[in-house]
Structures are given as structure tokens and as C-alpha cells.
Copies of this chain bind each other. A is one copy, B any other.
Amino acid sequence: MIAVSEALERILAGLRPTGAETVALPDGWGRVLARPVAARLTQPPVDVSAMDGYALRAAEATLGARLRLAGASPAGRPFTEALRPGEAVRIFTGGALPPGADAILLQEDARAEDGHVTPTEAPRAGRWIRRAGLDFRLGDVLLQPGRRLSARDVGLAAAANHPWLHVHRRPRVAILATGDEIVLPGEALPPGGIVSSNAHALSALVRAAGAEPLVLPIAGDDRAAIGASAEAAAGCDLIVTTGGASVGEHDLVQSALEPLGFSLDFWKIAMRPGKPLIWGGLRGAPLLGLPGNPVSAIVCAVVFLVPALRRLSGLPAAPVETRSALLGRPLEANDRRQDYLRAELSRDTQGRQVVTPFPVQDSSMLATLARADALVVRAPGAPAAGANTEVEFVELSFLGV
């Protein structure tokens, strides 16, 4: 059995980000940038007004002065003549400052009549002027590769005049569920049968991580069937199997794949739920074998598959992020396996975040997992912890999982 951290390091070390593809700007949302986005213009391109009012010279705009209105400078239609002495120009938010002007008289501080304007409050030179390049300058790198693009990033790339973006191709992930006992939802259920849930949960998790799932037909507990399905995964960036990872007589994934050239890296991890976990390679494609138990499969997917998908997508190699909160009930000392306890989040009377593990943690309880907000992480050999101790947890909703 190897430690969770070592297993994750070995998994991440075996993965390379996908190549770049070119997508239209609106399709960039949620994708990971493969090439930098540099500004193709300076924003604002010239000095502009931050408010509606009048552009003028501060030195002339004394209380009661009467300045002739020479024109208007709305956003998009700059007034390009130089301001002559005694003149002002009507200006609007985003409008270009006319040459010669050095101040903005706010419209609520002005009285306008007969083509003239009179300050009722003296403006200060430079105030309410946005200088050219305040937001960004031509050539500035605004977005770096390896960043998942937010809605704001898409807006920024647009503002920097990019109709196209270069992003990492979505990783293609084959998902193979194995087991004689599982059938597709809605199909006739034989005695002892279980409806297949892992492939569908994992497919959703793969989509949540921005990758593309390929759900293969269920393979029975039969070497030939597993082998044939694995062939169908050719060309994928990652193969994920579920079931058949341990060494019982009915656990066949490893033995089915060996004749096809499967090379095993490791297959046992000191964690709960989820001890049997296969990591290896099949004809150049990395293969992650998750346990068949639905709760173990999803917890292992959060811990190993999510970071793997991120790495393949072009994000930095890193474990899934944890937060800390106060423990809602005491926990016994942990044994040598890293524990991931299904838990609820709440607030205490002082508004502090509390994370409370469910009392029953049986790894077959999918309804409990679906209800959980968080997985409390308990390190191997962690001592008993009292209520209100600070503990680390993975927030599940944060991942769309």
C-alpha cells in the first residue's frame, strides 16, 4: 500500500497536457489557455472622462466663470480640435478629453445655458480623468497560459481585441464499468443485479472538470469483454475503469488487460474508502482503475481523477484544494489509511464554518455521499480529535462533483 500523496505524485508525473486548439472567443469560457493573450490595443486609447460633465482648463473654471461650449465629446465620437481659451466641451463617460483640456467639471457642479457653462463648484485638474492605458497597454500580457478562463477573462480578451483564443483541447476520457451484476438504468434487473451508477457519475464528473467523457458499454466479468472494451478506448487521453480493481476471483481488470500490453505502476493505496486503485499504462494511454463500489469510486475520483483531468487540461499539477473548518463532532484516532469522511457544512452561533462527518460512513451509501457537502480528510495515524478542532476538508460543490 502506498500513501495518497505518493500515488497522486506518480499519477500526475505520468500525464502531459493536451495540445492547443483554436476556438472562437465565446467558446473560450471554462477552457484552459494554451497561449498568452496580449493586449492588441491600449485601453483607454487616450485620456478619457470618468464622468458626464464638461472638459475644460481647471485654471479657467473658477466659480461663476462663463465658458463657451465648443462642442461635445461623447464616447466613440471624440472632439478632436484643440480647446481654445475660454472654451469648454460637453463630455460623457468614456469620451475622449479634447487636446488642451486638463479637468472635468461634473454636470451636477455646472449650470449650462445659451451655449455656455458656468461652474458652481471649481473642478480640480486631473480629477475624473482616466489616463490612456489605465486598464492595459498594447502588448501587455493580460492572461497567461495554464489559466482556466472565467467569464471576466473572456470579457478581458474581448476588450483586448481577440476574436479567437488558443486553448488546450478537452481531454478525452474513456470510462469502462465492469461487472456481471451491473445493468444500465431502466434495463431489466435480474436477481442480484445492481443498476450501473459509476459510469454515469464519473461521466458527469469528467464533464464538470471540462473534459469529454466516452462511456463504453458495460463489460461483464470476462477477460475477452474487458479487453474488447479497452480496445475501443484507443485515442483517448485517459482510460478510467471501475470495478475489478482488487484481487478477488471476480476482479479481472488487471488480468484481462495484461495480454493487451498493460503495464502496472501500483494498485493499492492506503486510503478509505478506496484501497484498490490501479494506475498504469495501456499502449501509451494512462489507465486509472477505480474501485467498483460507487462511494469509493467517486471519492477516489475526487482525490485522483480531478487532479489528473486538470493536469491533462493544462492546469498545474496539484492536489485538489482543501479548506479548513471546525469539527462538528469528535472523531476517534485514525489507523494507517487516509480517511475521507462524508460530512455536512453548517455555521455555528458565531457564524464560523463547521464540518460534521455523518455518523455512519459505510462505503456503500451513495445517498449519504450525494447529501454530503464535504469530505473531511484524516491523515494516516491522526490522533483522536475533539469537537471544534480545526480539520481540513474538500468542498464537493466547489468541484461540480
Q: Which residues of A contact B (CB under 8 A)?
A: 25-26, 28-30, 41, 43-45, 50, 52, 74-78, 80, 92-96, 130, 134-136, 140, 142-143, 149-164, 179-182, 184-186, 189-198, 200-205, 207-208, 215, 221, 246, 248-250, 292-294, 298, 324, 351, 362, 364-370, 372, 396-398, 400-401
Shortest CB distance A286–B (Å)? 21
Contact of A135 with B204 at beta-carbon distance under 8 Å, contacts A152-B401, A294-B155 already known: no
A151 CB contacts on chain B under 8 angstroms: 201-202, 204-205, 208, 298, 400-401
Shortest CB distance A278–B (Å)? 16
A370 touches B78 (CB 8 A): no
B161 touches A189 (CB 8 A): yes
Among candidates B76, B182, B192, residue contacting A179 with C-beta atoms closer than 8 Å: B76
Q: Kindly report how many copies of this chain are found in the complex they form together.
A: 2
A152 CB contacts on chain B under 8 angstroms: 201, 298, 366, 369-370, 372, 396, 401
A135-B365, A154-B204, A163-B184 are known contacts; what are 19 more A-B pairs with Cβ within 8 Å?
A26-B200, A29-B207, A52-B246, A76-B179, A76-B190, A76-B194, A77-B181, A92-B248, A142-B370, A152-B201, A152-B298, A152-B370, A154-B203, A155-B201, A156-B197, A158-B195, A159-B197, A161-B185, A161-B189
A365 CB contacts on chain B under 8 angstroms: 134-135
A156 CB contacts on chain B under 8 angstroms: 197, 201, 366-367, 369-370
Contact of A135 with B367 at beta-carbon distance under 8 Å, contacts A29-B204, A76-B179, A78-B191 already known: yes
B134 touches A75 (CB 8 A): no
Contact of A200 with B155 at beta-carbon distance under 8 Å, contacts A30-B208, A195-B160, A364-B50 already known: yes
Shortest CB distance A247–B (Å)? 9
A93 CB contacts on chain B under 8 angstroms: 246, 248, 292-293
B200 touches A154 (CB 8 A): yes
A207 CB contacts on chain B under 8 angstroms: 29-30
Q: Looking across the interface, which residue of chain B has its beta carbon closest to that of A73?
A: B192
Interchain CA distance A396-B136 in the complex, whole Å: 21
Interchain CA distance A397-B395 in the complex, whole Å: 14
Among candidates B76, B130, B155, B182, residue contacting A192 with C-beta atoms closer than 8 Å: B76
Interchain CA distance A143-B369 in the complex, whole Å: 12
Q: Looking across the interface, which residue of chain B has its beta carbon closest to that of A161?
A: B195
Shortest CB distance A211–B (Å)? 12
A364 touches B134 (CB 8 A): yes
Shortest CB distance A102–B (Å)? 18
A298 CB contacts on chain B under 8 angstroms: 151-152, 155
Interchain CA distance A343-B66 in the complex, whole Å: 43
A362 touches B50 (CB 8 A): yes
State the 8 A-B residue pairs at the shortest beta-carbon distance, nearest first. A76-B181, A155-B201, A163-B186, A151-B204, A29-B204, A159-B197, A158-B197, A151-B205
